C-alpha cells in the first residue's frame, strides 16, 4: 500500500517540549480561566500577529459567535458562501440573516464590487473571509462599511501570520477571528482568538466566554462558556516557537507545486498577491475539464486510489446546506458556485516533502 497522504497533518512540537511546558500546572493546579499560560500566550501572540488587543476562546467558531454578540448586531450580514460551515452557522446561530455576496475569480475572496448592491436598511455588518489565506480587498470593504455605517468582522481562520504591506491581517476591520484548530497553520489543539483595535470591547468580549459575568456572582450579559484551557495555551506557547519554521516548510512545498503545475493547460492556481506575506495555508487547484480532460471529482478519485486524500474545499457552498434548503438562491453567487464545482485543495502541511509533492503531481499529470 502506498503511503497515505491526507490534505493536512497537524504540526506538533517535540513531545518533551510540551511535557516540560505543562509541568508547572501540576504545582499551580490552575488549569483554565485565564491562567499564567493563557496570559503569556496572549502577550506573545499580540506581538507576533501585530494586533493591539487579543482575546482567546475554546475554538474559532465560538470566538466568531462572541464577536457577533459583542457588536450587538441585528438584521442582515453580508457574507460569502465559499467558506467553511462555521462562518454561516455563526451568523445564523446569533439570530442574524446571512446575505450572500459572490466571490471574485482570482482569489475567491468576497467580490468588493458586488457588496453595495446587497446593502439594505437591515444590513448591520459585512463578514468576509480571507479564504485559503488570500487577503480580502480591505480598502474597498472598509469604504463601503464607512459609507453605510456597517461593522466589519473578518473570518481570518486561514490567515494566521499573513501580512499585507507589513501589517498583520488581524488589524483589519472591527474584529478579526483566528482559528487555532489542530489543522490550521498554528494551533492550540482547539482554540480561537479575536483581534480588535477598540480596547473598550475587551470587557464584554471576555465576559461573554464566562457565562456573561463581569465578576463572580452576577451575570449582566447572556454569555456562554468558551474559555481556553491552560493545556491549550501551553500547546500554543510550544507551537509559536516552531511556526516560522513550519511556514518555511509549507512555502517550499507550495513552490514545488507551482513549479510542477503552473504551466499546465486546464489547471488554474491562485495568483500570488502583491504586498502580501503568505502563510501557505492551503493549495487550491482549479480543474477546467474542457481543457484538462479530467474533472475535479475524477481527479479526487484518482488520487484517492493512490491513498492521497485531497479535499473539495469548499463544496458545497454553505448556502446550499441541507439545513438551509430553499432559503438562499445559489444562482446569485455564480463565481462561488463554479469554484465549488472545480476546486480541489491538495495536501499541504509542514512535513510534506518534495518527494510527496512530486508523487501527487505525477498522479495528477498522468495521461
Ligand atoms: C476552521 C475554520 C473556522 C472555525 O474554527 P474552529 O477553530 O475549528 O472552530 C471558521 N471559519 C473558517 C473559514 C475555518 O476554516
CB 362 within 8 A of CB 11: no
Q: Which atom of ligand 1 is nearest to the CA of 192?
A: 7
Question: Residue 158: CB within 6 Å of ligand 1?
Answer: yes
CATH 3.40.640.10, the chain: domain bounds: 15-238
CATH 3.90.1150.10, the chain: domain bounds: 240-365
DSSP string, 192-225: EEEEES-GGGHHHHHHTTBTT-SSSS---S---B
Q: If you average pLDDT over every residue of the chain, what do you get?
A: 97
Q: Read off the DSSP letter of residue 153.
A: E
The answer to whether the bond into 239 is cis (omega within 30° of 0) is no
- Tell me how far the alpha carbon of residue 120 lies from the centroid of ligand 1, in angstroms: 28
What fold is seen in the domain 240-365? 3.90.1150
Q: Is 11 exposed, middle or buried (0-12, 13-18, 19+ CB in 10 A)?
A: buried
CB 318 within 8 A of CB 336: no
The pLDDT tens digits of the residues spanning 264-282 come to 999 999 999 999 999 999 9
Q: Which atom of ligand 1 is nearest to the CA of 181?
A: 7
Grid cell in block for residue 60: 474559532
Give the whole-number percent of the chain exceeding pLDDT 70: 100
Task: Choose one of 63, 81, 86, 282 to mutate for the ligand 1 pocket test, by most ligand atoms within 8 angstroms of C-beta.
Answer: 86
* Whether the predicted pLDDT of 137 surpasses 90: yes
Nearest CA to ligand 1 atom 7: 60
CB 297 within 8 A of CB 173: no
- Tell me how far the alpha carbon of residue 170 lies from the centroid of ligand 1, in angstroms: 15
pLDDT at 2: 85
Task: Choose one of 56, 82, 84, 130 to mutate for the ligand 1 pocket test, by most ligand atoms within 8 angstroms of C-beta.
Answer: 84
The pLDDT tens digits of the residues spanning 138-167 come to 999 999 999 999 999 999 999 999 999 999
Q: For residue 305, what pLDDT band results from cuts at 50, 70 and 90?
A: very high
Cα distance between residue 69 and residue 127, in whole Å: 14
- Tell me how far the alpha carbon of residue 348 lies from the centroid of ligand 1, in angstroms: 17
Nearest CA to ligand 1 atom 5: 60
pLDDT at 1: 76
Give the whole-number percent of the chain exceeding pLDDT 90: 98
CB 316 within 8 A of CB 268: no
Query: Could you name the CATH architecture of 15-238?
Result: 3-Layer(aba) Sandwich (3.40)
Cα distance between residue 63 and residue 195, in whole Å: 10
Q: Please give the average per-residue pLDDT across 53-65, as a whole number.
A: 98
What's the per-residue H, E or C state across 96-124?
CEEEECCECCCCCCECHHHCHHHCCCCEE
Q: Please give the average per-residue pLDDT across 64-90, as a whole number.
A: 98
Question: Residue 87: CB within 6 Å of ligand 1?
Answer: yes
Q: Please give the average per-residue pLDDT across 114-120, as a whole number.
A: 98
pLDDT at 320: 97
Q: Please give the average per-residue pLDDT across 16-43, as a whole number.
A: 97
Grid cell in block for residue 303: 488520487
The pLDDT tens digits of the residues spanning 174-230 come to 999 999 999 999 999 999 999 999 999 999 999 999 999 999 999 999 999 999 999
pTM exceeds 0.85:
yes
Question: Residue 157: CB within 6 Å of ligand 1?
Answer: yes
Question: Residue 111: CB within 6 Å of ligand 1?
Answer: no
Q: Please give the average per-residue pLDDT across 318-329, as a whole number.
A: 95
- Tell me how far the alpha carbon of residue 292 lies from the centroid of ligand 1, in angstroms: 32
How crowded is residue 156: how many other Cβ atoms within 10 Å of its Cβ? 29
Amino acid at each position: 500500500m502506498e503511503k497515505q497522504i491526507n490534505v493536512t497533518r497537524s504540526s506538533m512540537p517535540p513531545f518533551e517540549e510540551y511535557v516540560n511546558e505543562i509541568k508547572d500546572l501540576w504545582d499551580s493546579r490552575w488549569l483554565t480561566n485565564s491562567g499564567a499560560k493563557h496570559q503569556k500566550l496572549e502577550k506573545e501572540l499580540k506581538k507576533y500577529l501585530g494586533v493591539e488587543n487579543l482575546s482567546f476562546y475554546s475554538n474559532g467558531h465560538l470566538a466568531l459567535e462572541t464577536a457577533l454578540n459583542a457588536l450587538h448586531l441585528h438584521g442582515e450580514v453580508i457574507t460569502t458562501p465559499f467558506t467553511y460551515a462555521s462562518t454561516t452557522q455563526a451568523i445564523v446561530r446569533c439570530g442574524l440573516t446571512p446575505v450572500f455576496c459572490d466571490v471574485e475569480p482570482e482569489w475567491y475572496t468576497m467580490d468588493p464590487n458586488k457588496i453595495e448592491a446587497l446593502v439594505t436598511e437591515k444590513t448591520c455588518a459585512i463578514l468576509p473571509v480571507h479564504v485559503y489565506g488570500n487577503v480580502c480587498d480591505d480598502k474597498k470593504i472598509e469604504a463601503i462599511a464607512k459609507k453605510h455605517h456597517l461593522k466589519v468582522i473578518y473570518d481570518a481562520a486561514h490567515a494566521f501570520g499573513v501580512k499585507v504591506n507589513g501589517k498583520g491581517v488581524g488589524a483589519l476591520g472591527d474584529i478579526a477571528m483566528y482559528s487555532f484548530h489542530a489543522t490550521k497553520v498554528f494551533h492550540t489543539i482547539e482554540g480561537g482568538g479575536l483581534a480588535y483595535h477598540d480596547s473598550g470591547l475587551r470587557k464584554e468580549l471576555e465576559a461573554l466566554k464566562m457565562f456573561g459575568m463581569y465578576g463572580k456572582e452576577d451575570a449582566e450579559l447572556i454569555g456562554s462558556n468558551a474559555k481556553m484551557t491552560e493545556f491549550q495555551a501551553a500547546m500554543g506557547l510550544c507551537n509559536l516557537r516552531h511556526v516560522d519554521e513550519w511556514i518555511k516548510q509549507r512555502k517550499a512545498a507550495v513552490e514545488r507545486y507551482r513549479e510542477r503545475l503552473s504551466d499546465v493547460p486546464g489547471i488554474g492556481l491562485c495568483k500570488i498577491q502583491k504586498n502580501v506575506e503568505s502563510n501557505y495555508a492551503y493549495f487550491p487547484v482549479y480543474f477546467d475539464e474542457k481543457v484538462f480532460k479530467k474533472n475535479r471529482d475524477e481527479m479526487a478519485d484518482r488520487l484517492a486510489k493512490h491513498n492521497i486524500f485531497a479535499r473539495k474545499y469548499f463544496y458545497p457552498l454553505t448556502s446550499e446546506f441541507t439545513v438551509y434548503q430553499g432559503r438562499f438562491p445559489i444562482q446569485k453567487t455564480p463565481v462561488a458556485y463554479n469554484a465549488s464545482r472545480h476546486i480541489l485543495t491538495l495536501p499541504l502541511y509542514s512535513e510534506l516533502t518534495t518527494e510527496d509533492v512530486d508523487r501527487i503531481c505525477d498522479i495528477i499529470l498522468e495521461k
